Copies of this chain bind each other. A is one copy, B any other.
Amino acid sequence: MFDPASLKYDANGLIPVVAQDHASHEVLMVAWMNAEAVTQTLASGRVTYWSRSRQAFWIKGESSGHVQKLVELRVDCDRDCLLVLVDQTGPACHTNRRSCFYTAVRDGAEVVIMAPSEA
């Protein structure tokens, strides 16, 4: 049995989570979960983070509609990081881009490599 309490959380009780598109394999975002968010994500199949700014559960897409359906949750070797493979509806980023990692460093300069989606 998998027990969320067996993971290693930081001093704030949080673990970093990488969300990856299960089909395109694009890395969409990194956010945080506490043990209860891990439990809720597995129980509901809807990826649920802990918002550090709001100090509240954050059911991804609850207000925007840009939900993340859980395809698979994976644990790393040190048990201090998670990878969630997701079925992402719409953009993952609050800037309306598919991924939060839309800025590349090329030849020492920052280059925006992804446009916000329309609509």
Footprint of B on A, CB under 8 Å?
1-2, 16, 18, 20, 24-27, 29-30, 42, 72-78, 81, 83, 93-95, 97, 100-106, 108-110, 113
Given contacts A27-B83, A77-B100, 20 further A-B contacts (CB under 8 A): A2-B105, A2-B110, A16-B16, A18-B18, A18-B30, A72-B104, A72-B105, A73-B104, A73-B105, A74-B101, A75-B101, A75-B104, A75-B105, A76-B100, A77-B93, A77-B94, A77-B95, A77-B97, A81-B100, A83-B101
Interface centre among A24, A104, A113 (most CB of B within 10 A): A104
Residues of B within 8 A of A109 (CB): 1-2
Question: Contact between B27 and A105 (Cβ–Cβ < 8 Å)?
Answer: no
Contact across chains for A103 and B74 when beta carbons are under 8 A apart: yes
Query: Copies of this chain, how many?
Result: 2
Chain B min CB distance to A10 (Å):
9
Report how far A75 CA is from B100 CA in the complex, Å. 8
* Cross-chain contact B16 with A104 (CB below 8 angstroms): no
Chain B nearest CB from A6 CB (Å) reads 9
Q: Could you tell me the distance between the alpha carbons of A75 and B114 in the complex, rounded to whole angstroms?
A: 12
